[in-house]
Amino acid sequence: MSARSKSLFTESDVEEAVRKWSLNPMLKPRIAKVVVNMGIGESGERLRKAARVLKELTGQEPSERRAKRTIRNFGIRKGEPIAVMVTLRREKALNFLNRALEAVGRKIKASSFDDFGNVSFGIAEHIILPGVKYDPNVGVFGMDVSVSLERPGFRVMRRRVKRSRIPRRQRVSKIEAIAFFIKELDVRVM
C-alpha cells in the first residue's frame, strides 16, 4: 500500500497549494461564510433559550428553521420550528470560527472536508467555547459549524445581472481547503 492511499493529503500537496497562491493571489481561497446551526428537535421554551444563546455567541439575530415533514416517533409536526441558525460573514465569521476551533482543540478530521471547499464540524456543548459560562437556567446546547470557502471572483455565479457558471478549476478543492485551514487558521488536520 502506498503512502498516498493511506492519507488523503500529503505535506507536499499543501506546500504546492501555498506556492500557487503566492504566484497568483486570485487563486487563494477565503472564507465566504460560516453557518452555525442548533438543532433542538422541539419548539417552545427550549428553542427560545437556544436562540438566545446563539445570539449571545454570534452577535446576530438567529432565524428559525421549520420541520419539513411530520415524524410521529419524535413528536415533530410539519412546519413546527425545531432549530435555529445564523449565517456569519467577514469579521464576525472569522472571530466566531477562531473561537469554535479553540473549542475543538484546533483539530479537524480530514473526512470533514468535502470536494468543494466546505468543512463542517460539531461542538458538543456551547459552554466549551472560550469566554462562555454555564448558566443553569439556560442549559447546554450543541451546535454544528459549517464553513464555506471560495476564491475571489466567485460572485459571478450569484450576481443578478449576467450570471454565469464557475468552471471546476475555479472551485476550491479538498486539498486547497485543507491547506487553507493548516496555513491560515493553524488547524491540525487528522
pLDDT of 183 strictly over 50: yes
- The pLDDT of residue 119 is 92
How many residues in the chain? 190
Using CA of residue 90, residue 151, residue 113, residue 12, what is the dihedral sign? negative
Domain residue spans of the chain: 25-189
Residue with cell 502506498: 2
Nearest in space to 93 (alpha carbons), one of 42, 141, 11, 30: 30
Q: Which CATH architecture has domain 25-189?
A: 2-Layer Sandwich (3.30)
pTM above 0.95, yes or no: no
Distance (Å, rounded) from C-alpha 3 to C-alpha 10? Answer: 9
Contact 63, 104 (CB under 8 A): no
Per DSSP, 27 falls in state G
- The pLDDT of residue 7 is 53
Distance (Å, rounded) from C-alpha 34 to C-alpha 16? Answer: 26
pLDDT in tens, 31-42: 999 999 988 877
pLDDT in tens, 52-93: 888 988 888 998 888 888 888 877 788 888 889 999 999 999
